[in-house]
A and B are shown apart, each in its own frame.
Chain A
Amino acid sequence: MKGTEVAQAVKEKFKDLVSNVSFPRDRVVRLYVPRESILPFCKFLRDELSCEHLSLVTAVDWPENFECVYHITSYLEEYMVELHVKIPKDDPKVDSLSPVWKGADFAEWEAYDMMGITFVGHPDLRRILLPEDYLYYPLRKDFKG
């Protein structure tokens, strides 16, 4: 499936929730969704568009907001969705994807550990790479070491 077809299918279902659609490569689609609709959006991707695999959860610290980037792969149709979610700085919370993909919790652990984004609905959110009693989130830009 080509990136444009994926974007078409997503737009039909979610209408104006999807914004800033672009195509970095032929089979890759990059899009933004609001953080409230991420869980139904990902469920739709998995059930209707056969995205079996969540590759990566990245958290980026932009000057005005946080951003979570999800790389979602479809093995069957050989395309990839790069999903961006903007998260406000004063309330770094987003729904956890572990109900959709079981393997999501490990990736989210890391994002929580490094960037301090709380994943609501995560089965066991805790520090994984850093000590339990560590106070800072080292990948934030205001962390100076």
Chain B
Amino acid sequence: MIDLYGISYGIGKWFMGIIAAILDFFGQWIQPFQGLADWLMRWETLNVLAITIQVVIVFLFVSIINLFIIMWIERKMYARLHTRRGIMLPLPFRKVQKGTGFLQNLADGMKLIQKENITPKNADKWMYHIAPAIIATTSILVFVAIPLSETFVVANLEGGLIFVFAILAIAPFAVLVGGWASNNKFTLIGGMRGAAQMLSYEIPLILAAVGVILLAGSLNLVDIVIAQQQTIWFGIPLILGLLVFLVAIVAEVERLPFDIPEAEAELVEGWATEYGGMRFGLIFVAKWVRTYAGAALITILFLGGWSGPILPGEIWFIIKSYIVFIIIVWTTWSLPRTRMDQVLEIGWKRLLPAALISIAIAAALKWVGWF
């Protein structure tokens, strides 16, 4: 079976083969080159190269292609909800100002990169600069463990779900650090709110996934999808868990109606107020990546992952995750913002019991022997 690793290994071997041949050719005159060529073609070297290529492929998928698509979807989608057209500019040098505007995000990104990197005078410089980096890296790191299909996966970890939750849980720390280090009242309040909210929503998030773990009997994300292929989508018996997970993931990625940490009306831009240029861009982009990670997790845990007829698994996965993403966008732009105490109340008083009930349902189903 050809998998992502196999493809990467093949690409690496082909590429290294060319280099090794060239080196071999020069090795006729310069002896050490022959040894170098031999080393390049060894399995250990090629293995490292294959893993690197794998990571690069996933990184490209997550942060370039996929990111542009979801940003475009969101911007077009909420523009239509607002009864306007949204981004339309095709290319800067075209005279006619109509089109899909797909490259608008690229232009925005380029603008952000050109901006000066401003550090506030009394900010804690190291902490201030490291916070967006932590958020961006951890957000992309989630996709290491998320399989697009049985074969399209970087690391098929035994405890994949644990890994994903662990990585998602680093962000509140960075939010707090970023908010504190900016040395601004708005960012401080935003950081405090962000940390409190993310911590309190991690619990229903994980508890909602426990039901799935019970039914699948595994923490491995590939195994969870295979278990759904053998029975039914877990979203059908665990509809309550699905809803809890959806709400918790929206809160986890700080989207409306739960974007209290960066409630722009009262806290300007929340904990990200002082960031400018590409640092702000990283935070902004990381939010989208995290939203997509949430949509991908929902797809894997509740909607049968890549299972589907005719089309290849990867395509099915992307279709499903985009639909979930669109649902998240839809709720985002049609609801007002909740208040801090209400958010915590919803988290602890509504979502937590609902998640526990979902676990009980899963346990009962398992006990009856249907799964």
- In the complex, A touching B (Cβ < 8 A): no
Interface residues of A (CB under 8 A from B): none
